[in-house]
Amino acid sequence: MVESINEQTSGVFIIAATPFTEDGSVDTASAESLVEFYIDKGVSGMTVLGMMGEAPKLAADEADTFMRHMVRRVDARVPVIVGVSDAGIGNLARLAKSSMDAGAAGVMVAPASDLNTGKKIHNYFAQVFDALGPDIPVCY
């Protein structure tokens, strides 16, 4: 079992790509190959379902299935952080809790792009932390 991330967590955490097949479905064989490549190159950890990549293209059930597949494939060799950003706090919290139950070391949250003031960002993260509780480590 991998320990949860904390303030002392360090190293290179690759933001893993989510490959797709020609028909638009997740290419799990390529994702598995990427896991082995990243680990062979010596990453300290891995982040899946990042917001800058393909995560917004997946439905909630697809994201959960992909996250579980990736956590199983990594098999506790390095910590896995799961991007759980979502416009809905409830959806975000469900994926975060599911991720931790599956063996993730923590979650990553990015604020919605329309939060254009410090106060809005602060209020957003206050809602996120209330929804997640104290037991889910978050990087942002």
How many other CB atoms are found less than 10 A from the CB of residue 94?
16
DSSP at 56: G
8 Å CB contact between 45 and 78: yes
User: For residue 120, what pLDDT is reported?
Assistant: 93
How many other CB atoms are found less than 10 A from the CB of residue 85?
20
Closest CA to 125 of 52, 117, 3: 117
User: For residue 52, what pLDDT is reported?
Assistant: 62
Helix (H, G, I), strand (E, B) or coil at 5: coil
Q: What is the pTM of this model?
A: 0.92
User: For residue 55, what pLDDT is reported?
Assistant: 75
**Distance between CA atoms of residues 137 and 6, nearest Å:** 7
Mean pLDDT of 105-117: 90
DSSP at 42: T
Residue that is written with structure tokens 């992909």 in the block: 66
The answer to whether the Cα torsion of 60, 52, 54, 102 is positive or negative is negative
User: For residue 53, what pLDDT is reported?
Assistant: 60
| CATH classification for the domain delimited by 13-139, as one of 3.20.20.70, 3.40.50.300, 3.40.605.10, 2.40.30.260 | 3.20.20.70
